[in-house]
A and B are shown apart, each in its own frame.
Chain A
């Protein structure tokens, strides 16, 4: 800290020349008011006496002039805009990134303030101490980056943006914010960037810093316990197994009570005590024949930093059988599913009627797969749009590699499977061409892909480009496993056997009427608009806050969707003290920014006091007067 003040508007010192007219006026002024007195005898004695007794008489005679000179001096000093130099480098353009992810709503037991409140206080102090040549830009960092203000020196605008800033119940994406800041640097020279956060974000950030990042780590919040997972799965007895995962932050042991409500009625309670950083999975059994709404409520037994993760909602769907269409020629698949009574497999021998829509379609022609369905598996043909890329030859081939993490191929062993049909890349065709059309290769053959996956709006499609019946696959253990995976996938897509609580930051896809406009009201009262696609699916709706979203429009009569789960990282309140960028790490600092402090306000205040003092001195009641 440099205690010698600097002056931003040194040229205002010219106003000191006003001292000259002030002195001239003072000495030229004074046509003293005449006061007639009976005799000067007494007053002459008084004056003579004072001259003898008062060594500061000359000073007292001019005290008004002195006050006026001081008043002018302080006014000119205020105009010169002095400031105490902090010694820190003063950035002319300074972007300030403020983390407003869910964890920033965490409070501490002492002050009760949220981390965001603390960040706001610090940024507000920076705004107050802005110098005239400084421009600040505020950027909110949550799941995306939002520029709250452009570079401006307008304190009112900055303060308003800061006041309006609220926590989003989503994790923070620092990369987005840094990229936005990088984009800002094209319009203004940015040397350094301030980042206020509680450190609750991934440690590694894939970004090359073109500027200095000053990571201001906010003080840690208190302990937090929260619900991080809430889902249900239908068991074989027809009931639902409900799973609730409770996680505790690393600050302290936390007791809590978990209550489960079904359609508003409490059906189970359980007390848990979680150690520091522990998690626990609770399981409840719930009977539900029809659609039912479950609510998990966590009642912490001690201070809980975050309230947003203490409630979770889940809707259990109505039970029904899977509707499956299998081409009659694909006997191996019919055989694999024959014993299960929960499936209705079409076409049926004694029933010619078919439902308008299937959950799963396993077909050997394009025509079969043209039927409406959630999951489709094509066998032994190449989709029409791929005819320019792949051709099918009758050669023997085998599997080279496959995607073991694919939902369809989980635990499926494909080594040594012999295939009598060989898909072959046409000239100049490769994987990139497939990816451009939305396909993903799940099984690679020797000369071309064997299994493709494509996710279209509302549909999940798989294509075996060879006929599985013309391979050794149906005779391998992996085949029934693959069919089982397919059924599980279908159950998930149909939402029949599993239900999961919706989580931020995106609403789960909604199945509504095709090509219709919908209005979604968020828990904070904002209105969003969305349009359904050809299949009637509305997806990609941002859900930045936990709570109830209301969808209205064609076929959705104020449908309520509850979003309740936060990212587990937010519940854990884990804080990183160092951000690892591509090249350099940035270590957090808890020392607050030492900014230049403008002093013009203090000088103006002193000038005002001098003005009051002068007024008082001029108007004061004469000393010695008997009231």
Chain B
């Protein structure tokens, strides 16, 4: 996290050095789901970009401008040069801003990661939009799809002004977002995924909408390694519901088992949909997450 004064920093979310490093990174989707509109993201189809892809035989009607005349002079046969098609990819940032994220440094890390992914998208001429979900059934707070470096400051301001609070579970949040969103690309889900509901349905909805799922589970250190003991009354920060537990120390083993199972389940859901999953401890440093974890997991190049 930035320790410099806000005056000298471009954003309060991270320092300029981190920002400059982020500017050189780009997202690495698996399936390259792109939009038809022209962009800078290689679609895998033949196109008109300057990046050479392959040769093919000339057929009548082809644009003679793409004939490789050097080969023609040597072989006396026309061959067409093919180029990569660069299309625009939509990067959708879905931020869970329910009250459960307002715990220790969870939401701050959520904002930082969203900003980092946003920077990577904008600096690579992708279309970036963000949805912040607070309350169940409510309209998510939206950052309109935008592109280009010039939108970076606006994105930072949008993320900075978000206040967490609400009871929106992640499955309901995805429903709300898909009602508003159009476009293919990748959906980066930033949430703690601590939901009583079924997580399979929102994943299916995202996938069927042409969005590759990048799931980021953000947990606080006390959620990763809770240190509690004795007889306690646990209070849900979202619903205010309580749960009495005795000999909490004895339950921690089970808690770790269940947390690991949830993590594996989420990773499995993402993987089955050609997506990626990452669990982030908000107690870890941002640099470690961005430049170590994301690189090692193949999220960015």
Contact bitstring A213-252, B, C-beta under 8 A = 1, else 0: 0000000000000000000000000000000000000000
How far does the alpha carbon of A60 sit from the alpha carbon of B254 in the complex, in Å?
A: 15
| A49 sits at the interface (CB 8 A) | yes
B235 partner, pick from A35, A42, A625, beta carbons under 8 A: A35
Is A370 at the interface (CB under 8 A from chain B)? no
- State whether the Cβ of B271 lies closer than 8 Å to any Cβ in chain A: no
| A619 nearest CB neighbor, chain B only | B229
Kindly state the interface size class of chain B when it binds its partner. 35 or more
> In this assembly, does B253 line the interface, its C-beta being within 8 Å of a C-beta of chain A?
yes
**A37 vs B248: C-alpha distance when bound (angstroms):** 13
CA A620 – CA B230 in complex, angstroms?
9
Contact with A along B55-71 (1 / 0, CB 8 A): 00000000000000000
Residues of A within 8 Å of B, CB-based: how many?
30
Chain B residue at minimal CB-CB distance from A31? B233
Complex: how many Å from CA A618 to CA B248?
Answer: 11
A50 to B255, CA, bound (A): 10
Cβ-defined contact, B249 with A622, below 8 A: yes
Complex Cα–Cα for A35 and B244 (A)? 10
Q: With the chains together, A45 CA to B227 CA distance in Å?
A: 18
Chain B residues with Cβ below 8 Å from A620 are: 229, 249
Q: Number of residue pairs across A and B with beta carbons under 8 Å? A: 110
Interface membership of chain A positions 45-83, coded 1 if the CB is closer than 8 angstroms to chain B and 0 otherwise? 111011000000000110100000000000000000000
A35, A49, A618: the one within 8 Å of B234 (CB): A35
Q: How far is the CB of A42 from chain B (nearest CB, A)?
A: 5
The DSSP consensus for interface residues of chain A is mixed
Task: Give every chain A residue within 8 A of B232 (Cβ-Cβ).
Answer: 32-35
Of B225, B248, B251, B262, chain A has the most CB atoms within 10 Å of the CB of B251
B7 touches A (CB below 8 Å): no
Q: Is B284 on the interface with A (CB-CB < 8 A)?
A: no
- Are B195 and A41 in contact (CB-based, < 8 A)? yes
Question: Given contacts A35-B233, A38-B100, is CB(A44)–CB(B249) below 8 Å?
Answer: no
Q: Is A36 an interface residue (CB 8 A)?
A: yes
Write out the residue numbers on chain B whose beta carbons fall within 8 Å of the beta carbon of A40: 234, 236, 239, 241, 243
> Cβ of B255 and Cβ of A623 under 8 Å apart?
no
Q: Are A622 and B248 neighbours in the complex by a CB distance under 8 Å? A: yes
In the complex, chain A residues whose CB is within 8 Å of the CB of B143:
none
CA distance A192 to B182 in the complex (A): 108
- Hey, which chain B residues are within 8 Å of A525, CB to CB? none
Contact between chains at B103 and A38 (CB < 8 Å): yes
Question: For window 207-223 of chain B, which residues contact chain A by CB distance below 8 Å?
Answer: 220, 223
| Distance of A563 Cα from B266 Cα, bound (Å) | 101
B198 to chain A, nearest CB (A): 12
Q: Would you call A436 an interface residue if the criterion is a C-beta within 8 Å of the partner chain's C-beta atoms?
A: no
> Which residue of chain A has the shortest Cβ distance to B233 in the bound complex?
A32
Known contacts A37-B236, A41-B195, A625-B225; is A61 also within 8 Å of B253 by CB?
no
User: Nearest CB to that of B193 among chain A residues?
Assistant: A41
Most buried by B among A33, A43, A50: A43
The reply to whether the CB of A624 lies closer than 8 angstroms to some CB of chain B is yes
- Contact in complex: A623, B250 (CB < 8 Å): yes
> Which B residues from 175 to 204 make CB contacts under 8 A with A?
192, 194-196
Q: Is A28 positioned at the interface, with any CB of B under 8 Å from its CB?
A: no
Complex alpha-carbon distance, A21 and B253, angstroms: 35
At the interface, yes or no: A39 with Cβ under 8 Å from chain B? yes
Interchain CB contact under 8 A, A625 and B243: no
Q: In the complex, A337 Cα to B243 Cα: how many Å?
A: 125
A279–B15 CA distance with the chains assembled, in angstroms: 109
Contact A38 B194 (CB under 8 A): yes
B interface residues, Cβ below 8 angstroms from A:
99-101, 103, 106, 192, 194-196, 220, 223, 225-239, 241-256, 258-259, 262
The 3 closest A-B CB pairs, nearest first, are A39-B194, A622-B249, A38-B100
